[in-house]
Amino acid sequence: MSRKPGGIETGIAMVVLALLVIVGGGVYLRQSQINPAVLALRPDAQPAAVADTPDAKAIIDANMAGMVPLSPPEHFTAETLYEKIDGRADLYLASGFVGLAAQRFSPNGSTTGWVEVFVYDMATPENAFAVFSQQRREKRQPVASLANAYRTPNALFMTQDRYYLELIGADATESLQTTMQNLARQFAATHGGTAAAKVPGEGLFPETGLVAGSERLIAANAFGDEQLDHIYTADYRIDGKRVIAFVSRRESSQAAADLADSYRQTLLSYGAETVEGAAPVGDAAFLRMFDTFEVVFSRGKYLAGVHEAADSAMAAGLAKRLANHLDPLSRPSE
């Protein structure tokens, strides 16, 4: 038979209930007072890029292009660049990056059809060309009246003096593409003009077999070698095969010769083997690196060579043409 609880049992039950009420109240109070560390993790509490005030001067006078700023300009330094372009910052930093200014524009302030403009200050035209040339898109079209510029369906890329620009559109409409080109021309007009400019490195390579628009400038660590900096490369198409020529102007003839020998030693240390027989160019290193061929030589102040040729005849032929092309360029500097 059931029995009525005793006084002791009733007392214990009341104490337990009281403890539960106290614990519950403490939990409630704790939840209502968020730890400052948790607040700091909220997205709205994260440190943002350095943004100017809403009335700050736009990075482009967009009114002339029929656009108005949609956001205040943002500015990034070498220390904060990764916040804007995480994953690509190393290329810019290795190429002389000074600063980045970014801002969105749109027709009449509309939240659709906007364009985000990235203006990279790279300190010199050569540095600007380096990042421009190493990031060329495969499917691209030239832009009339803009030097060193090309377009893709929803973007435009260009260099202007010391600046490298990317204009990224919200869509791929032709009207927005026209707007981007107007913005780019407006920037060029206020930073040296839109007249055709000489491409850095232009004239360093023989034209026969040269793939148009393939010239690049590698600011540092060319071909994975730390000693190779400021290296211009160009693609050639020979018998349907791609091969790379390279040229770099050094401080002196001795510096060029020393770097050629140092690079030869590096290739040998990586497993390259000297090709038997006469070198295609006097004093050149003619090497086989696994299944490809390398030629390294100097002409006056120029380090030059052929990289990753599919066969020895291709490497030798292009090296001879490159040396003959550089001969007259090297004489006045001696």
Q: pLDDT tens digit string along 33-81?
A: 333 332 232 333 333 344 444 447 899 988 766 788 999 999 999 999 9
Q: What is the DSSP letter of 97?
A: -
Amino acid (1-letter code) at residue 319 = A
How would residue 30 be classed by pLDDT, with cut points 50, 70 and 90? very low
CB 327, CB 319: distance < 8 Å: no
CA-atom Rg of the chain in angstroms: 31
């985000």: which residue's tokens? 116
Please write the tens of the pLDDT for every residue from 218-229: 999 999 999 999
* Pairing between β-strand 115-121 and β-strand 99-106 as defined by DSSP bridges: antiparallel
**Dihedral sign, CA of 148, 151, 152, 158?**
positive
Please write the tens of the pLDDT for every residue from 241-266: 999 999 999 999 999 999 999 999 99
Residue 4 has pLDDT above 70, yes or no: no
What is the structure's pLDDT at 40? Answer: 30
Q: What tokens does 210 get?
A: 């040269």
Q: Which of 146, 119, 121, 123 is nearest to 59 (CA)?
A: 119
Name, in order, each residue with C-beta under 8 angstroms of 319's C-beta and a sequence gap of 6 or more.
280, 281, 284, 286, 295, 297, 305, 306
Q: What is d(CA 322, CA 83) in angstroms, rounded to the nearest whole number?
A: 42
Work out the percent of the chain whose per-residue pLDDT is above 70: 80
Output the CA angle 192-166-117, nearest 5 degrees: 85
């930073």: which residue's tokens? 191
